[in-house]
Amino acid sequence: MKIAPDTLADLFQRMDLFESIPQTVLFKLAAHSKIKRIPADGVVFHKNDVGNALFVILEGHVKVHDDDYVVTKQSAGSFFGELALLDEGPRSLSVSAVGETTLAVISRTEFYSVLEDYPSVMQLVVSQLTRRLRLQTDKLVDQLRRREEELTRLVDERTAEVVHQKEEAERQRAQAEAEKREAEFQRQRAEQSERFKQQFLANMSHELRTPMHAVMGMTSILLQKGPREDQMRYLESIIRSSKSLLVILNEILDISKIEAGKMELEHTDLNIERIVEQVVNTLAYRADEKGIELVTECDPALPPVLIGDPVRLQQILLNLTGNAIKFTEKGNVTLIARPESIEDGSCRIFFALRDTGIGMSPAQLEVVFESFRQASSDTTRKYGGTGLGLSISKHLVELFGGELRVKSTKGEGSEFSFVIDLPVSANTRIADQEEVSQQMLDALSGTRILIAEDNYYNRIVATETLELRIPGVQIDAAENGQEAVEKCDSGIYDLVLMDVHMPVMDGLEATRRIRETHPELPILALTASVIKAEVQKCLDCGMSGCIPKPFRDIEFFGAIYDVLHNDGTAAKKAPALPEPSNDRQESGLQFLESLTGGNRERIRKYIGLYLESMRSALPLIEATRDAGDAERLHRHIHTLKPQFRMVGLGDTAELAARIEENLKAGIVPKVLTADIDRLLEDARRSEADFEKYLATS
Per-chain mean pLDDT for the chain: 73
* pLDDT at res. 389: 73
Residues ≥6 apart with Cβ < 8 Å to 564: 443, 444, 447, 494, 495, 522
pLDDT of 578 above 50 = no
pLDDT of 94 above 80 = no
For the stretch 151-160, pLDDT in tens is 888 888 888 8
> How wide is the angle at C-alpha 550 spanned by C-alphas 655 and 279, nearest 5°?
90
Residue scoring higher pLDDT (242 or 60): 242
- Domains of the chain in start order, with CATH, are 8-134 (3.30.450), 268-423 (3.30.565.10), 433-574 (3.40.50.2300), 588-696 (1.20.120)
**Contact at 8 Å (CB) between 84 and 111?**
yes
Residue scoring higher pLDDT (33 or 555): 555
**393-402 long-range Cβ contacts below 8 angstroms, 24+ apart:** 393/315, 393/316, 393/319, 393/320, 394/369, 395/255, 395/258, 395/263, 396/258, 396/263, 396/312, 396/315, 396/316, 397/316, 399/263, 399/264, 399/265, 399/312, 400/265, 400/308, 400/309, 400/312, 400/313
State how far the Cα of 81 lies from the Cα of 471, in Å rounded to an integer: 161
DSSP run (H or E) holding 545:
strand 545-548
Residue from 378, 290, 386 nearest 333 by CA: 290
Average pLDDT of the segment spanning 305-321: 88
For the stretch 341-378, pLDDT in tens is 988 889 999 999 999 998 888 888 887 777 545 544 44
State how far the Cα of 78 lies from the Cα of 111, in Å rounded to an integer: 11
pLDDT of 129 above 50 = no
Residue scoring higher pLDDT (311 or 569): 311
Average pLDDT of the segment spanning 662-666: 81
Tell me how far apart the terminal alpha carbons of the chain are, to the nearest angstrom: 172
Residue scoring higher pLDDT (93 or 209): 209
pTM to 2 decimals? 0.40
Lowest mean pLDDT among 76-80, 300-304, 418-422: 76-80
pLDDT of 422 above 60 = yes
Alpha carbon of 34 to those of 6, 61, 88, 112, 121: distances in Å? 15, 21, 21, 12, 11
pLDDT of 579 above 70 = no
* pLDDT at res. 565: 77
State how far the Cα of 611 lies from the Cα of 623, in Å rounded to an integer: 19
Strands 448-452 and 474-478: parallel
Residue scoring higher pLDDT (11 or 403): 403
Average pLDDT of the segment spanning 394-406: 91
